[in-house]
Structure 1
């Protein structure tokens, strides 16, 4: 090994600061890491390493590490040639062998993370007459291509602030150079000279790149990371000293040990392969320093057009819980508990979670989505139901805080699950109701009773808020009604309000004209029967409006009018576009078939075919005619995120649900309370944000507010006027309660509010028609 071979270099590279930086395409072949103390993650795309992450899965430090082969027949950058094969020892061991073949050359690459060091090893073997191999390294330290520094010094070195890397070779480099991207980098050198001529010593404070000519055709590269260049050098050389074969064996053993705990049922071979691969993908997206921190994807959607510091390498509570449910489904109980541990630790004081966050818990975006508040409750309740919480502490307190937040702020959410609109979504509302029910047994008596009362009320009103009759799609599909994707906030019209369509340049549509798959989760949660007329009606619209048959099977759009995807001509999404097909929604649609007694195997087989080179499931697949120049084929991955952890989780959950004949999200407490039927709530909860003007007969009334108030009220045209102070009830909600006896004999309750803390009146009179068994009552 000669990692300290002398290299002749001189001077600083010209072209500062380089062209604008971007990440790489999200068309990934594979992701790799090792379930061990090592803190390196990487994706493989176009047959090379790209987007290498350290020291967490949320911090990309390298754009890519690629190769040029040069010889008598010219020079070839392998990621552009893209003539390669990738294979794995097994679907759950991400140690790829990649073979590039072209005119006059063959390059074999074997990749392995080092299980005990922050190092990625690349073994290479180049064959061909008169050919040489050049390594091209593009640092993006600190999550960006800006202000990076590169130097040739006993290898290829880069640093920025407290992050450094070194690329070392056991055979050493014959020549090396540092440069600025687009001006003096290695690719520009070959493009200008058809050979390597530049040997610049350093390029500072810019978008930089490094290139080294390997001194031998066979050897090992070590990409090491540390806080200092010296530390990165030490780790890289130590790993080279250990030897590639020994490191790879240790990595293989670590994955074998983890895989031993996975339970995959008998299923066709291709589906089984995808199941093991999906399990690996979920585990590969988990943190080391922060166990249980499951990021959404080791990719940046349309990354070759962006230098975003976020991408999808962030923790979304929703995606993390979806993945944790999948891990639990395949028997990985300890991994599931790790995610619950993480969620307990990152819950905010008010009971909510950030829209998304870095793995260490720092918020990235700041929106609030109530499904992300309810889902951790479902996960904790599922573990408790299975007697699998182990020695875990703090989870009941987490549940109480989360349910308090849901109770105070629901049923409408500031953002839906697609992070685009405020309002009442059947998906989010279903999560809230199920969370209230399954949390109840873990709450104190008053909170228990209140949670169940509120759940019953929201469940009874679910269709009032999210189901329309005889509207836009009724006649076309021969139905009398359907669930909408999302209703506007009630104060903005509810089902009669308008919904802004994101990524569509200011367009909007009536709530009743937008269809999504949100209502299908109501069946998985045990709130509605799979054969409920309203579910069946909506499924007809979903299939007819959102479903698209591709050469690989049916996939679905998120909703009609979606703008999150490539443009019509295949150009990357740039803030506007056309929403494409989501394989995970194929899994959601399949769950409905399962609950209707139909084998969902065809859907599983479809999902295995809408994948990348090695089986990674993307966020979206193409739904139009092929555009070869952009790599777009019908039913195959677009430039969106790949892999998408949520999609792999959905695949696994569907597979296990098929075997167990019930969804993993279905909790016994919810099932036993509702039997998939709409209830009649004993108490209706009136709030200014969710008002109603009619109360059915036989129901109690609870008028609520988050601020203390005096209720000034009367009956039947302000007769028998009285005042009552609100009482603090569960979850710090203030209310005045009218039992059925209190309102018996009256037709209308008239009321308004006085708020003593702010010394103000509501300024509006409210009226509730008190229902009568003989006359009936309308709802709003």
Structure 2
């Protein structure tokens, strides 16, 4: 059969709600596949910041079918799609070849009448080839394999080896990996194993420690070449996401992943002045370069989790800590963790305070003086409420934490525009955000602190819907009202939907209040958002994932971390040295 290959053009990428994501454990196979609703969607090669193909689909009489995706093996990233069309059905199983840069698809077709089979392949850029053993003549039944390869003869070599042998080696690699890890009692077995494998698969093979946020390109990031010239930014490395994934992997028993992540932060991402950029490509090249102080604090926190006190690490951490102290008007940040506003953010301040205390502990255990870092952390911990909790805002009970203040004056009616297609400015006292719980999770404030409890009540009144939470008041990062894609600038109002990872953060808070049943319910709520391929999304609406980034590594990490926290009865990632300092 001769596959149909469409020329590489600047096409609109497919919807970001991927149904599956896979790769071999082997470094000899620098290729990753995603599955959409009709077959293979973007394939990444030679690294995870480079989508090399747009889609590769089985066509029956020139038309694709609609696919249902499911794991073909609960303990490997092997996936099966069941497709249906007019008078025919097919079953396709996907793996990558552990020995080379090729994706293989094993195909079985059954039809009520003779049908012609072909494979449509659309490269994104560069070169790739498709080879197939499917029949060329009309058939009622067929069995064969097609392969997408990168490099001369790679696809044919993968076919020559055979799908069965390749799939067996592919599965064995993931089985061996999972066999070396632990599994918590609190989690759904299938979703937990899938989450750990997805997290492991987000690490680039040529750049150890570089874990991307998601192998997808939602909304404007998929089609607006001015906003995202190279289809970013989710297929990039964000220090914040990398920290959350790394702490989940520590809990799961893959400490090596976290060690490599810290190395990547400090050797590839850290800039000469000590700060970490907003995100980078997997080779460490900065992409977006706004300053987010919580991301510069991330390696301070991760190094403490790993007890990394060697001279090279401490020297790099010192540059990050010094940057935090010297940043103009710190802990004011150019951007907070939702990345579209500057100001004094409770979540950012929590990260910075905890990061400085953790770094100070590493210094003191090395016999060094840490007074300047502790003095700054203590001062900011004392002032966070005066900077960010309002007594004059429109909600009850008061005082409550705001998403952020522009001026460190939470009782002032300072207005700002939220962006993301919001039509008008808004009083900062009217904007709340569940992210303030970072103060509790990181040990900066008590779980039963009155202002914390007030804010929980306000956030639930303003942001909780359908059992989940919005990021902040009037969040516009999402869809149009009818589910259409987000873009900027866009005269159409857009709406941020509900973020499952926030349920995980609430569960960690509830554990600190000894509300274990509530926390267990949060874990189930995250699990309920998984699609049929067990991929967890960035956003949900009406009980289903939207066309937001899926799988989102941060969501999978939150599922893993909350599961272990439930088993242990307390958040596994909370730095005890911070809690001991401020809460004892």
Is structure 2 residue 479 aligned with structure 1 residue 557? no
SS of the residue corresponding to residue 394 of structure 1 reads helix
C-alpha deviation, 1:341, in angstroms: 1.3
Tell me which residue corresponds to 2:24.
34
**3-state SS, counterpart of residue 77 of structure 1:** coil
Aligned counterparts of 2:84 and 2:479: Cα–Cα separation in 1 = 31
The 5 Å alignment of 1:584-623 reads: 584-599=501-516, 600-622=519-541
**Equivalent residues in 2 for 1:319-718 (5 A)?**
319-346=241-268, 347-384=270-307, 389=308, 394-409=312-327, 410-443=330-363, 448-474=370-396, 479-490=397-408, 496-505=413-422, 507-549=424-466, 554-575=467-488, 576=490, 577-599=494-516, 600-622=519-541, 634-675=542-583
Asked if the contact 2:8–2:123 (Cα under 8 Å) also holds between the matched residues in 1, the reply is: no
TM-score, normalised relative to structure 2 = 0.92
Q: Secondary structure at the match of 1:581?
A: coil
State the shift of 1:104 in Å. Answer: 2.5
C-alpha contact 2:18 2:35 (8 A) present in aligned 1: yes
Task: Summarize the Cα distance change of 1:85–1:60 in structure 2 as closer, same or farther, 3 Å threshold.
Answer: closer
The residue number in structure 2 matching 1:52 is 43
Q: Call closer, same or farther: CA 1:503–1:166 in 2, change over 3 Å.
A: same
Output the CA distance in 2 between the equivalents of 1:566 and 1:487: 26
Residue number in structure 1 paired with 2:167:
248
Aligned to 1:148: none
- Specify the alignment match of 1:695 in structure 2: none
Q: CA deviation at 1:637?
A: 1.0
Instruction: Classify the secondary structure of the residue corresponding to 1:499.
Output: strand
Change (3 A) 1:315 1:17: closer
Other-structure match for 2:97 = 114
Q: Residues of 2 paired with 1:480 and 1:561: CA distance?
A: 20
Offset of 1:256 from its aligned partner? Answer: 0.9
Number of aligned residue pairs: give it.
566
* Counterpart in the other structure of 2:70: 86
Q: Report the equivalent of 2:15.
A: 25
Partner of 2:481: helix, strand, or coil?
A: coil
Query: CA offsets, 1:131-179, max 9 Å, x none?
Result: 12111111101xxxxxxxxxxxxxxxxxxxxx321111245867xxxxx
Quick check: 1:488–1:495 contact (8 Å CA) kept in 2?
Answer: no
Report the secondary structure of 1:422's partner residue.
coil
Q: Is the CA contact 1:52–1:61 (under 8 Å) kept in the aligned structure 2?
A: yes
**Residue 218 of structure 1: CA displacement?**
2.0
Cα shift at 1:495: 5.2
Q: Do the aligned partners of residues 343 and 34 (structure 1) sit closer, same or farther apart at CA in structure 2, a change above 3 Å counting?
A: same
Contact 1:29 1:47 in 2 (8 A): no
SS state at 1:233 partner: coil
> Is the contact made by 1:400 and 1:443 (CA closer than 8 Å) also made in structure 2?
no
- Tell me the C-alpha RMSD between the 2 structures: 2.5
Q: Which residue of 110, 117, 124 corresponds with 1:140?
A: 124
* Contact in 1 for aligned 2:508/2:571 (Cα 8 Å): yes
The Cα offsets for residues 417-447 of structure 1, whole Å up to 9 and x where unpaired, read as: 0111111100000000011111013338786
Contact 1:110/1:123 (8 A) holds in 2:
yes
Aligned to 2:203: 286
Between structures 1 and 2, the one with greater helix share = 2
Cα displacement string for residues 437-489 of structure 1 (whole angstroms, at most 9, x for unaligned residues): 11013338786110011111111111110111142102xxxx23100001114
Distance across 2 between alignment mates of 1:534 and 1:223: 56
Distance 2:423 2:209 in 1: 38
C-alpha distance after superposition, 1:364-413 (max 9, x if no partner): 111110000001110011110xxxx59x7722122111101111112110
Q: Deviations 1:503-534 (Å, cap 9, x if unpaired)?
A: 13563222211100121111111111111111
Whole-angstrom distance in 2 between the partners of 1:339 and 1:349: 19
Check conservation: 1:425, 1:485, Cα contact below 8 A: yes
User: Cα 1:641–1:352, aligned 2, differ >3 Å: closer, same or farther?
Assistant: same
CA distance in 2, matches of 1:512, 1:238: 63
With 569-578 and 529-538 compared, the bigger mean Cα shift is at: 569-578
**Matches of 1:609 and 1:486, distance apart in 2:** 31
What per-residue deviation string (whole Å, max 9, x for no partner) do you get for residues 102-129 of structure 1?
Answer: 3422212111101110111111121223
1:165 has 2:165 as partner: no
Displacement of 1:668 in angstroms is 2.2
Larger Rg computed on CA atoms? 1
Say which of 174, 178, 183 aligns to 1:259. 178
Distance between the aligned counterparts of 1:284 and 1:665, measured in 2? 22
How many angstroms does 1:266 deviate by? 1.3
Equivalents in 2 of 1:406, 1:114: separation in Å? 45
Distance 1:216 1:338, change over 3 A: farther
Q: Is the 8 A contact 2:505 2:558 kept in 1?
A: yes
> Gaps spanning 5+ residues in structure 1: where?
142-162, 175-212, 226-231, 623-633, 677-780
Q: CA deviation at 1:589?
A: 1.6
Is the 1:498–1:511 contact (alpha carbons within 8 Å) kept by the matching residues of 2?
Answer: yes
Question: CA, structure 1 residues 473+41, in 2 after alignment: closer, same or farther (shift >3 Å)?
Answer: same
Give the 3-state SS of the residue equivalent to 2:63 in structure 1.
Answer: strand
**How high is the TM-score relative to the length of structure 1?**
0.69
Aligned-pair distance for 1:333?
Answer: 0.7
Note the C-alpha offset of 1:17: 9.4
Which sections of structure 2, spanning at least 5 residues, go unmatched? none
Q: Distance in 1 between matches of 2:139 and 2:335?
A: 52
- 1:195-206 equivalence runs, <5 A: none
| 1:223 maps onto 2:148 in alignment | yes
Q: 1: CA distance between counterparts of 2:117 and 2:395?
A: 61
Q: 2:239 — aligned with what?
A: 317
Gap change, CA 1:439 and 1:494, over 3 Å in 2: farther
Q: Distance in 1 between matches of 2:272 and 2:3?
A: 58
Tell me which of the two structures has the higher relative contact order, counting C-alpha pairs closer than 8 angstroms and 6 or more residues apart: 2
Q: Is the 8 A contact 1:466 1:495 kept in 2?
A: no
Secondary structure at the aligned position of 2:421 is classed as coil
Q: Cα 1:220–1:566, aligned 2, differ >3 Å: closer, same or farther?
A: same
Which structure shows the higher strand fraction? 1
